[in-house]
Amino acid sequence: MAETIAEFVSEKVNKIRWRPQGPQALQQSDVFVSGSWDNEENRVRLWHLPDTPVKTEGVAAKGQLPARAVEPRLLCEVPHQGDVKDLKFLDYDKILAASSTGNVTLYKHHHNSQTLSVGQTWESLHHHGGRGCPCTGLAATLPDIVTVGEDGRINVVRVDHRAPIRTIDDADSCTLNAVSLKAFEVITVNSSGQLKVFDLRRPSSEPTRIFLLSGERIPLHCLDKHPGQPHIVATGGQDGSLYMWDLRQERHPVSAMDAHAWDMWEVLFHPTHPDHLFSCSQDGSLWHWDVSMTTATPLAMATPTASRSLVFLLMKRNRLKFSSICVQFLGTPFPSRLPAASQAQSSPWLLAKTGKQKVEVSSLLLDNIMSVNSLDIVGRNVVCGTDGEAIYVVRNINIR
């Protein structure tokens, strides 16, 4: 059964990430990093989550004291200039932090002394008219690190270079809110509801493909690529909806799901069980989406529809009163243009067969009302940071 651990940290947490496993590690990570915002002095902090329960007073089976979960323990911290806009582990002991000042800082964790130090800073990577503006997103496939910002600029930097090795100044005319990097492929989402794909091997600054939402230009805040099928991309934005995109197709998302009541800040596929997905929102919710019981069917057989799901309307009115529900895919009116051979078998995330394919959605934080700004998952443990000055760890999530 899942259990929730809360740690009140006296600062609003804007980003949070699990540390990757070390080279000799046999168990999943028990260390994570957090970054604050909206403080006079913000901080990057490293935490350890003990795995050993603590005995408490009371009578348990066979005369033993009952155990309670152990709260995260602060290992070390370092001041950070500006709001922490994004965090990324480069490896076991190197952490990248994006700032609202336009800077990107590389921090090093020293295990023996349990301290964090500044290894390198790239200053004013993002700027308007000579003044720094927020760096909104980071992605890395070493040796390359990609940054995006409110200035619509894409930078490519490397740890052994003090200046960017490449800058695409006119990548976008509006704010870039998130970025993904795999090999030479850069994917961005912006405040006009567009998803763009860039190829770093090309000298041109133009995107190779542009996808967009239909209708209103709803800002997209976040994205994540399916770990096993990289042509599948999940995004979330200002309307709280979850959109699934197939990069093999043209122009528009292939499925949409009416989701959170307010902005969706982050979306994340489970790295080893991608039939599970997690999202968090301004409305205070942290959701676990599960399509593991859904059987993928040929995409060509899917019947598009524009109907809205009544269950989501009920969820928005009573969002703190449910624990687990099933929701229907909202079909989109965009027909598949893939060749028949490419449509043979599709991921459940791309299905749009209303009434026949469902997603199980569980709320992981039932009593929280403050914005959940960031989340990350390792194994069966989810960690998230909130504007309520608290970090929550949800352990032993049901992953089928």
Which of 47-61, 73-87, 214-228 has the least mean pLDDT? 47-61
**CB distance 349 to 296 below 8 Å:** no
**CB distance 309 to 325 below 8 Å:** no
- pLDDT for 214: 84
pLDDT tens for residues 296-320? Answer: 543 333 333 333 333 343 344 334 3
Cβ contacts of residue 390 below 8 Å, gap of 6+?
6, 7, 8, 9, 13, 370
- Residue 361 φ then ψ, to 5°: -120, 130
pLDDT at residue 150 tops 70: yes
pLDDT averaged over every residue in the chain: 85
Q: How many angstroms separate the CA atoms of 191 and 90, rounded?
A: 27
Which of 19-28, 308-317, 360-369 has the least mean pLDDT? 308-317
Q: What is the 3-state secondary structure (H, E, C) of the chain?
A: CCEEEEEECCCEEEEEEECCCCCCCCCCCCEEEEEEECCCCEEEEEEECCCCCEECCCCCHHHCCCEECCCCEEEEEEEECCCEEEEEEEECCEEEEEECCCCEEEEEEECCCCEEEEEEEECCCCEECCEECCEEEEEEECCEEEEEECCCCEEEECCCCCCCCEEECCCCCCCEEEEEEECCEEEEEECCCEEEEEECCCCCCCCCEEEECCCCCCCEEEEEECCCCCCEEEEEECCCCEEEEECCCCCCCCEEECCCCCCEEEEEECCCCCCEEEEEECCCCEEEEECCCCCCCCHHHCCCCCCCCHHHHHHHHCCCCCCEEEEECEECCCCCCCCHHHHCCCCHHHCCCCCCCEEEEEECCCCCCCCEEEEEEECCEEEEEECCCEEEEEECCCCC
Q: Which residue has the higher pLDDT, 307 or 83?
A: 83
Q: Which residue has the higher pLDDT, 107 or 63?
A: 107
**CB distance 380 to 364 below 8 Å:** no
pLDDT at residue 113 tops 80: yes
158, HSE (Cβ side, Cα atoms, 13 Å)? 7
Residue at 163: amino acid letter = A
What is the mean predicted confidence (pLDDT) over 26-46? 94
Cβ contacts of residue 293 below 8 Å, gap of 6+?
360, 400
- Band of residue 295 on the pLDDT scale cut at 50, 70, 90: low
Which of 25-29, 191-195, 238-242 has the least mean pLDDT? 25-29
103, HSE (Cβ side, Cα atoms, 13 Å)? 14
What is the mean predicted confidence (pLDDT) over 382-392? 98
- Band of residue 180 on the pLDDT scale cut at 50, 70, 90: very high
pLDDT at residue 333 tops 80: no
pLDDT > 90 fraction of the chain, expressed in percent and rounded: 72
Six token digits for residue 42: 């913000």
pLDDT at residue 352 tops 50: no
